[in-house]
Structure 1
Amino acid sequence: MIRALPPFARRLAGLWLALLLVACNSAPEQPEPAPALWEITGANGQHGYLFGTVHSLPEGYRWRTQVLDDAFAASDRLMVEVDLARDGAAIGGIFASLARSPGLPPLSSRLSGERQAELKQAMKARGLSDKDFAGLESWAAALTLAQAYDDGTDGEGADLTLIKAAGKRPVIELEGAAPQLRLFDALPEQDQRDLLAGVAQEALQGEELGDERLNHWLTGDAAALEKETHEGMLADPGLREALLLSRNRAWSEKIAEELAKGGTLFVATGAAHMVGREGLAALLAERGYSVRRVQ
């Protein structure tokens, strides 16, 4: 039996969208679900679906539709960023092995001006101070601060729900837990500090911002989701390239390789990776596939 992952593990696996979406205390009023879904077909019979997910959702949030369920049922394997059912328990250990370095300055001193003030406010609001982040690299402190704003009442994300529903069907990883965390660890220090500043700012904006983004995802508003990939921490060119664009390029190649094996492939990654001219749907179209929005 697959046990639900602790919020910390889900957030670390969730990357940028999990950092940006602040779960509500209970399922909010919501419109009818229609999250974006694309069908992929190739000249040689390749077939699959692209579905953009949210990695952490309020308990009781309704997002599945008949169109989505039919597409998933017709697929013979699932491709995700991280197989949370397999790697979830290891994420904390991987994080601990990468997160610390000796001789680091106090966390708040790594930012200045308004950014420093926002970080201090975000820490204080959760009863935290520099001593709670002693020895943590800036990227690790950013993820830890994001976790502090998880109130523990959110339900599992769409990714884990689909992994559970896959049953005996193969679950294929695009990255895996260790490479995903090493991606953060490899960021230049300035990009790590930009990530930290972005997390603090988004944490202070709180629930209202999270609800708005959740509704954009739930209603399949690809234009709004694409706009959000140019805002906040992803407005920083270094973070945008490292956390989004370079990964989209690598993933599009892996998806194409998997599609070539035949059958029907269901790809589920964070919604930010699907949308826009540099998203997976567009990149696969550039490779010659027919990519059609079906929801």
Structure 2
Amino acid sequence: MNLPRGLPRWVKGLVWVWCTATAPAGMAADAAPDCPAAPVPFSAAELQAAEQVPQDHGLLWRIEKDGRVSYLYATIHLARREWALPGPQVRAAMQAVDRAAFELDLLDPDVLRRLQRAAQARPGGPRLPAAEARQIEQAARAACVHGSLDGLRPELQVVTLVSLALRRQGLDPAWGIDAGLMHRAHGRGLPIVSLETPEQQMALMVHDAPAAALAAVRQGLRELGSEASRAVVQRLVTDWAEARLDDLEAFASWCGCQDTDTDRAQHHATVDARNPAMADRIAALHQRGQTVFAAVGALHMIGPAGLPLQMARRGFSVRYIPLDRQ
């Protein structure tokens, strides 16, 4: 069995895949009969009715310190269309705070420019071996995005292809939960802060050393062809949608991605090592009197290094809030 050794890094809290998925017209350039349908944006009527969406998804924590209440909310970076709009408890939490915080505010033009600049293939950079270049081209054709990834660094081409692998099952980065919340915050004039920088996120995905870049491409191509990797992602997003916190907390035992020292080191670098700085940023905002709705990837919320326990160590009272899914 091809185990998902080194689960796709985009699952571990990276938002580049949503950035590439926000231009569905370009991504659907090969619109053949067997291609997944391009994402259909919500209509004005659907957005107006969004205030009546009855069901919440995901996981929410209430954090309190100095008499002020903020919130942590776990997201996923690819989802189903019907999950993209928040339910009543998440809407109420966003309405109760002074600002929203995300890993990156992808509706900020400066953030977007910096991401896109860092994503471009370097002029004169090393070329991929013919075998890997051919695999990427074939995978892009199969994903119906042939030509639309040209010009990106090879590692990001593969990350994007992996992120699109479950579109035929209805899971699409275009419906990433962060995106809907960002649009909601912007539309209501809620100030947004980025907890990280584009450069920090890109450093987790791209490599200046040719050997490291090639290793990342090969790992991504293995994941792209792995049924086990897809099964892990499907279980992860189902856990999120159904608020199965116990199973999420046991992620390391079933993902097949933390079985070796190398796997664990990669997970630490791409998830756990980022949490203290994000927690410090949230705590600093709260300390200045600004209550915060902080929405970050679900894997940042679990385990001893997760944000709920990080905030508890910083003197916050932390309470998990079960969401009403009826």
Which of 293, 296, 303 is equivalent to 1:269? 296
Residue 203 (structure 1) shift:
2.9
Q: 1:103 aligns with which of 111, 121, 126?
A: 126
Amino acid at match of 2:304: R
In 1: Cα distance, 2:107 partner to 2:278 partner: 21
* Residue of structure 1 equivalent to 2:307: 280
1:8, 1:102 → 2: CA distance?
Answer: 26
**Secondary structure at 2:302 match in 1:** coil
Pairing partner for 1:140 from 138, 156, 162: 156
In structure 2, what is the Cα distance between the partners aligned to 1:156 and 1:192? 28
1:294 alignment counterpart = 321
What is the deviation of 1:83? 0.6
Q: CA deviation at 1:258?
A: 1.2
Q: For residues 141-188 of structure 1, what are the alpha-carbon distances to aligned partners after superposition, in whole Å with 9 as ceiling and x for unaligned? A: 432432563759734321121111112111000113333113323587
Moved more, 188-197 or 73-82: 188-197
> Which position in structure 2 is the counterpart of 1:218?
241
> Once the two structures are superposed, what CA deviation does each residue of 1:210-245 show, in whole Å capped at 9, x if it has no partner?
432221001112232233356355651332122111
> Structure 1 pair 246/208, CA: closer, same or farther in 2 (3 Å)?
closer
- Aligned 8 A contact 2:121 2:152 in 1: no
Q: Distance in 1 between matches of 2:38 and 2:127?
A: 38
Of 193, 196, 199 in structure 2, the residue corresponding to residue 175 of structure 1 is 196
Tell me whether 1:53 sits opposite 2:78 in the alignment.
Answer: no
Which shifted more, 248-257 or 91-100? 91-100
Letter in 2 for 1:249: P
- State the match for 2:43 in structure 1: none
Q: Which residue of 1 aligns with 2:165?
A: 149
Seen in structure 2, the aligned counterparts of structure 1 residues 148 and 33 have a Cα distance that, compared at 3 Å, is closer
Aligned-pair CA distance for 1:97: 3.9
Unaligned runs of 5+ in 2: 1-14, 23-35, 40-54
**What is the CA deviation profile of residues 50-73 of structure 1, one whole-angstrom value per residue up to 9, with x for unaligned ones?**
001112222233663322221111
Which residue in 2 is equivalent to 1:18? Answer: none
Deviates more, 1:239-248 or 1:141-150: 141-150
- Encode CA deviations 1:104-136: one digit per residue, 9 max, x unaligned: 4517579xxxxxxxx95x8645448xxx99997
**Post-superposition shift, 1:46?**
3.9
Could you tell me how far 1:74 is from its partner in structure 2? 0.6
1:257 is matched with 284
Is the contact between residue 63 and residue 71 of structure 2 (CA under 8 Å) also seen in structure 1? yes
Q: TM-score, normalised by structure 1?
A: 0.71
Describe the shift of the 1:247–1:186 C-alpha distance in structure 2 as closer, same or farther (beyond 3 A). Answer: farther
Q: How far apart are residue 138 of structure 1 and its match? A: 5.9
Q: Distance in 2 between matches of 1:238 and 1:6?
A: 22
Residue-pair matches, total: 263
Q: What are the ranges of 5 or more consecutive residues in structure 1 without an aligned counterpart?
A: 13-23, 111-118
1:246 corresponds in structure 2 to 273
Conserved 8 A contact 2:85-2:180: no
Q: Which residue of 2 aligns with 1:86?
A: 108
Does structure 2 conserve the Cα–Cα contact (< 8 Å) formed by 1:26 and 1:59?
no
Determine the structure 2 residue equivalent to 1:116.
none
Q: Which whole-Å CA distance do the structure 1 matches of 2:85 and 2:246 have between them?
A: 19
Contact 1:63/1:218, CA 8 A, preserved across alignment: no
State whether residues 191 and 239 of structure 1, in contact with CA within 8 Å, keep that contact through their aligned partners in structure 2: no
Q: Assess if the C-alpha contact under 8 Å between 1:53 and 1:269 holds in 2.
A: yes
The answer for the alignment partner of 1:9 in structure 2 is 19
SS at structure 1 position matched to 2:71: strand
Whole-angstrom distance in 1 between the partners of 2:18 and 2:130: 20
The Cα shift of 1:93 comes to 2.7
How far apart, CA to CA, are the structure 2 residues paired with 1:226 and 1:136?
Answer: 35
Aligned partners of 1:194 and 1:233 also within 8 Å: no
